[in-house]
Amino acid sequence: MGAPPADAKRIRALREAIARHDHAYYVLDAPTVPDAEYDRLFRELQALEEAWPELKTPDSPTRRVGGQALAAFAAVRHVVPMLSIRTETDSGPGGARAFDARVRRQLGLAEADPPVEYCAELKFDGLAINLRYVEGVLAQAATRGDSETGEDVTDNVRTIRGIPLRLTGKAPKLLEARGEVFMRRSDFERYNARQRELGQPPLVNPRNGAAGSIRQLDPKVTAQRPLSFYAYGLGETDGWRLPARHSEVLDALANFGLPVCGERAIARGAEELIAFHDAILARRDALPFDIDGVVYKVNSLALQAELGFVSREPRWACAHKYPPQEELTRVLGIEVQVGRTGKLTPVARLEPVFVGGVTVTNATLHNEDEVRRKDVRVGDAVVVRRAGDVIPEVVAVVAERRPTEVSAAPPWSLFEAVGGRCPVCRSRIAREPGEADWRCTAGLYCPAQRKQAILHFASRKAMNIDGLGEKLVEQLVDRGMADSVGDLYDPSRIDAAALAGLERMGEKSAQNLVEAIARSKDAGLERLVFALGIRTVGEATARDLARHFGSLDALMAADAEALQQVPDVGPVVAENIAGFFAEPHNREVIRRLQQAGVNDRQAARARQARQPLQGLSFVLTGTLPTLTREAAGALIEAAGGRASGSVSNKTDYVVAGAEAGSKLDKARALGIRILDEDGLRRLLNDNGESSA
Ligand code: IVH
């Protein structure tokens, strides 16, 4: 007996809906449904496919969770070899000029001839992959291998949600899209933080994370790794009329639903290549993933064909690299720092090294298990990594460079390094079973913890007390002027006269600080809850708690069960919150904050004045399902955004409805994020934090 037509129809509808949500979430970066709804659709599809196995297809989203483990990868022969590109040796402007000069010479262009048009792209730092779509369905994914023969990693690649299992639009008979599998920095950090919590080995860096994940024989392991993909070129194609320019190939790939990076530009001549190189370098830290340079490609496919290849490298492309984000240096010592929650963090003191744009002298070692796993010892040669605004870390020891006297020393032990006592207050240290961290047991009696607690309270995302920095907090605590954040608002302890007596404080800055402290009383409940520094309560949780309970008193009165009604608050977080408020010392500090007049209520006014779209530029096009263009524009402007008429590089979002025309095309070409009405509503309801 076959499946009833209603089930078959439902299966098709679910697959389409899930594919649309995946595309919106992973490619457009504009989620269309809450996670819970997505999970519900996914489970419904899984159940229907279990019931009717004959309806399973290779392009079903259920194939993304990873199937059977393999014994080995099968070999895949590339019909069009996967070549690499030459790296310009000169990493300054000379690199772009040398490339342009070579191209011009090979094309026989005279000085008076017009500039050559290039497509300038990012050089992603991951693993090259060939995606083979047959009749629009992902049929095979392969690594580059030796460029002629790669490995069949289809099951692993299918787990990458940003990669469509079926192309959208009118797909050619055969299309091979080539690009890079990589890991976003935030995904890498989050994944590693969880691994460390679980006592599991973290990934070395995002590049190894991506490459290692694709080479896993068990696709279930790959499915746990947060991978991304950007297409940057073509392999074999059949039944498709190629556009004239490479930039148009990329636009076409984006229109097929493939992720294509928006950070690309058309550049005419060497000077525009240099401008691109410089502009991207200036924003390198702000990009959500690591790049090791930029890539230039002659844009005209006809000229590419004319230029051809030399020793297996195209003459029409080159890589122009940036300084590395990993460097070699030596460990001079391992110190132990005390954090806000008493956590003891081993930090490597390093021979100064220039990496990722700054001179690094310290790098985190995270915790004792990490030091042991990497077997870092004083005197070792190590690789340090600094990428984005993430704190520098020791990636690995270079074993061959370990001096013999270092080999003879025992592995590093945190307990022994600090003699079993907090390096700041000499209290006992402890490590709970199942915990990765040693902690100072003194709580807020430990000056280091007091300092960190006050610094956190005053920080920009918390109460935002401008001018209350590290040096000052140090003095306040050391001189007994502030034992807790409650003292900040106590004029008998802190006033302009007392502050003016401190080092590096003039009368003017003392006065400014007093005013900044007074202003912070109105920071609002969301910031106040975050500022308290409750373990595992970050900004997002603090905001949810404030919105849910509406006042500090209501939050303090909530038991673990009531706390778990709040989104993303599980038993552990609830326990931390309840435990924090049960502590008499904390209750006393809060009483003093309240007495001093610190605003501890969720203000209705604050809600109306929220400007989640502050500084963002929107273009509306087509007909939205429920909003007129005027209404949508008014909503955007009320939320602090700008609605403008034409799409440019400065546009942050295009909101597209039915029959959207050339503006939508242009947005795609420029790689601008595209939203539908639901997506816009989500942004409006968001607090302005990135949802990525
Ligand atoms: S094009 C024939 N474009 O860099 C040209 N490669 O040697 C094929 N890569 O391993 C490469 N970003 O995986 C191209 N925007 C980009 C790239 C890129 C990263 C990688 C590629 C290959 C290496 C080039």
**Span 362-373, pLDDT tens digits:** 999 999 999 999
One domain for residues 593 and 624: no
The Cβ-side half-sphere exposure at 3, using a 13 Å CA radius, reads 17
CA 337 to chain centre: 26
- CA–centroid distance, 20 to ligand 1, in Å, is 28
Q: Distance between CA 621 and CA 440 in Å, rounded? A: 58
pLDDT for the residue 687: 47
CATH (domain of 513): 1.10.150.20
pLDDT in tens, 142-198: 999 999 999 999 999 999 999 999 999 999 999 999 999 999 999 999 999 888 877
In short, whether 660's Cβ falls inside 6 Å of ligand 1 is: no
Helix 5-22 and helix 35-51, axial crossing angle in degrees, nearest 10: 140
Is the CB of residue 290 below 6 angstroms from any atom belonging to ligand 1? no
As a whole number, mean pLDDT of residues 576-590 equals: 92
Of all residues in the chain, the percent with pLDDT exceeding 70 is 98
Query: Alpha-carbon distance 421 to 424, whole Å?
Result: 8
Q: Among 86, 99, 124, 258, which residue has the most ligand 1 atoms within 8 Å of its CB, making it the best to mutate?
A: 124
Q: Give the pLDDT band of residue 357 (cuts 50, 70, 90).
A: confident
| pLDDT (0 to 100) of residue 610 | 66
pLDDT over 70 at 24, yes or no: yes
Is 259 domain-assigned?
yes
At which of 256, 286, 321 does a domain end? 321
Q: Is 572 helix (H, G, I), strand (E, B) or coil?
A: helix
pLDDT higher than threshold 50 for residue 607: no
Instruction: Say whether both 484 and 380 belong to one domain.
Output: no
Does position 540 have pLDDT exceeding 90, yes or no?
Answer: no
Q: Which of 571, 604, 637 is the last residue of a domain?
A: 604
Q: How far apart are CA 440 and CA 344, in angstroms?
A: 7
pLDDT of residue 364: 96
Identify whether residues 136 and 270 lie together within a single domain.
yes
Nearest alpha carbon to residue 656 among 24, 13, 16: 24
Q: Are 127 and 210 in contact (CB under 8 A)?
A: yes
Tell me, yes or no, whether 597 lies in a domain. yes
Q: What is the dihedral of CA 485, 490, 493, 494, to 10 degrees?
A: 80
Q: Kindly give the number of the ligand 1 atom that is closest to the alpha carbon of 261.
A: 15
| Residue 85 CA, ligand 1 centroid: distance in Å | 6
**Same domain as 314, residue 330:** no
Is residue 589 located within the same domain as residue 622?
Answer: no
What are the helix and strand counts (H, E) for the chain?
27, 23
The two structure tokens encoding residue 503: 């080092």
The reply to whether 582 and 647 lie within a common domain is: no
Protein residue whose Cα sits closest to atom 17 of ligand 1: 123
Q: Is the domain of 165 the same as that of 290?
A: yes
Residue nearest to atom 14 of ligand 1 (CA): 232
For ligand 1, what atom is nearest to the CA of residue 144?
10
Domain that holds residue 599: 441-604
β-bridge pairing 228-238 and 174-182: antiparallel
| Residue from 84, 146, 276 to probe ligand 1 pocket by mutation (most atoms less than 8 Å from CB) | 84
Q: Is the CB of 627 within 6 Å of ligand 1?
A: no
Burial bucket for residue 662 (CB in 10 Å: 0-12, 13-18, 19+): exposed
Query: DSSP of 32-92, one letter per residue?
Result: -S-HHHHHHHHHHHHHHHHH-GGG--TT-GGGGG--PPPSSPPEEE-SS-----PBPS--S
Q: Is the domain of 337 the same as that of 460?
A: no
Crossing angle of the two packed helices 629-638 and 677-685, in degrees rounded to 10: 20
Q: Whose CA is nearest to atom 16 of ligand 1?
A: 123
User: What is the 3 state secondary structure string of 277-309?
Assistant: HHHHHHCHHHCCCCEEEEEEEECEHHHHHHHCE
Residue 52: give its domain's CATH number.
Answer: 1.10.287.610
Ligand 1 within 6 A of CB of 83: yes
For 427-446, the DSSP string reads -BEE--TT-S--EETTGGGS
Torsion angle, CA of 613/616/619/622, rounded to 10 degrees?
-30
Residue nearest (by alpha carbon) to ligand 1 atom 13: 128
Average pLDDT for the chain: 92
**Boundary residue ending a domain (552, 570, 604):** 604
- Ligand 1 mean position to 60 CA, how many Å? 30
Tokens of 8: 């078959």
pLDDT at residue 690 greater than cutoff 50: no
User: Which run of H or E residues covers position 230?
Assistant: strand 228-238
With a cut of 50, say whether residue 689 has pLDDT above it.
Answer: no
- Beta-carbon contacts of residue 424 (< 8 Å; ≥ 6 apart): 338, 440, 446, 447, 448
Same domain, 673 and 621: yes
Cα(161) to centroid(ligand 1), Å: 22
Residue 649, pLDDT score: 83
Compute the average pLDDT of residues 421-436: 91
Task: Flag whether 424 is in a domain.
Answer: no
Q: What is the CATH number of the domain that holds 186?
A: 3.30.470.30
Q: What is the DSSP letter of 337?
A: E
- What integer pLDDT is reported at residue 288 of this predicted model? 94
Q: Which stretches does DSSP call E strand in 494-632?
A: 617-621
Confidence grade of residue 446 (pLDDT, cut at 50, 70, 90): very high
| Euclidean distance between CA atoms 568 and 574, whole angstroms | 10
- Shared-domain flag, residues 465 and 353: no
- 611 within domain boundaries: no
Reply yes or no on whether the pLDDT at 241 is more than 90.
Answer: yes
Q: 494 CB under 6 A from ligand 1?
A: no
429 within some domain:
no
Give yes or no for residue 295 CB within 6 A of ligand 1: yes
Q: Is the CB of 314 under 6 A from ligand 1?
A: yes
pLDDT, position 476: 95
Q: How many domains are there within the chain?
A: 5
Cα 398 to ligand 1 centre (Å): 28
Q: Which of 229, 232, 264 to mutate to test the pocket of ligand 1 (most atoms within 8 A of CB)?
A: 232
Q: How deeply is 88 buried, as exposed, middle or buried, from its count of CB atoms within 10 A (0-12, 13-18, 19+)?
A: buried
- Residues 398-420, buried b or exposed e (16+ Cβ, 10 A)? eeeebeeeeeeeeebebeebbee
Q: Are 44 and 114 in contact (CB under 8 A)?
A: no
Backbone angles phi, psi at 15, to 5 degrees: -60, -40
- The average pLDDT across 4-14 equals 94
> What are the angstrom distances between the C-alpha of 430 and each of 16, 337, 441, 451, 576?
53, 15, 7, 20, 18
Catalytic residue among 123, 297, 343, 374: 123
pLDDT over 90, % of the chain:
74
End-to-end alpha carbon distance in the chain = 45
Per the annotation, the verdict on 663 as an active-site residue is no
Position 691 scores a pLDDT of 34
Q: What's the CA gap between 150 and 27, in Å, rounded?
A: 26
CATH code for the domain in which residue 668 is found: 3.40.50.10190
In angstroms, what CA-CA distances link 212 with 208, 225, 231, 667?
Answer: 6, 10, 19, 34
Ligand 1 nearest atom to the CA of residue 123, by list position: 12
Answer whether 180 contacts ligand 1 (Cβ < 6 A): yes
Residues 405 and 467 occupy one common structural domain: no
Which residue has 């509503």 as its token pair? 681
Average pLDDT, integer, range 479-505: 92
What is the DSSP annotation of 613-676? Answer: TTT-EEEEESB-SS--HHHHHHHHHHTT-EEESS--TT--EEEE-BT--HHHHHHHHHT-EEE-
Helix intervals (H) in 463-524:
470-478, 496-500, 507-520
Q: What is the DSSP letter of 185?
A: H
Judged against a pLDDT cut of 80, whether residue 103 lies above it is answered with yes
Residue closest to 249 by CA, chosen among 241, 29, 148: 241
User: Among candidates 154, 130, 151, which has minimal Cα distance to 222?
Assistant: 154
Tokens of 553: 């008193």
Predicted TM-score (pTM) of this structure: 0.75
Residue-level length of the chain:
692
The lowest-confidence range among 8-17, 147-156, 328-337, 430-439 is 430-439
Please give the backbone phi and psi of residue 491, each rounded to the nearest 5 degrees, phi first.
Answer: -65, -20
Whether 160 maps to a domain, the answer reads: yes
Do 316 and 330 fall within a single domain?
no
Q: How confident is the model at residue 609 (pLDDT cuts 50, 70, 90)?
A: low
Q: Is the CB of 294 under 6 A from ligand 1?
A: no
Residue 413 maps to a domain: yes
Distance from Cα 563 to the centre of ligand 1, integer Å:
49
Q: Is 317 in the pocket of ligand 1 (CB under 6 A)?
A: yes
Q: What Å distances lie between residue 608 and 118, 182, 604, 612, CA to CA?
A: 47, 40, 7, 11
Note whether 462 and 455 are within 8 A (CB): no
User: Which among 182-191, 620-629, 661-670 has the top mean pLDDT?
Assistant: 182-191
Residue 542, burial from CB neighbour count under 10 angstroms (0-12, 13-18, 19+): buried
Instruction: Confirm whether 379 is domain-assigned.
Output: yes
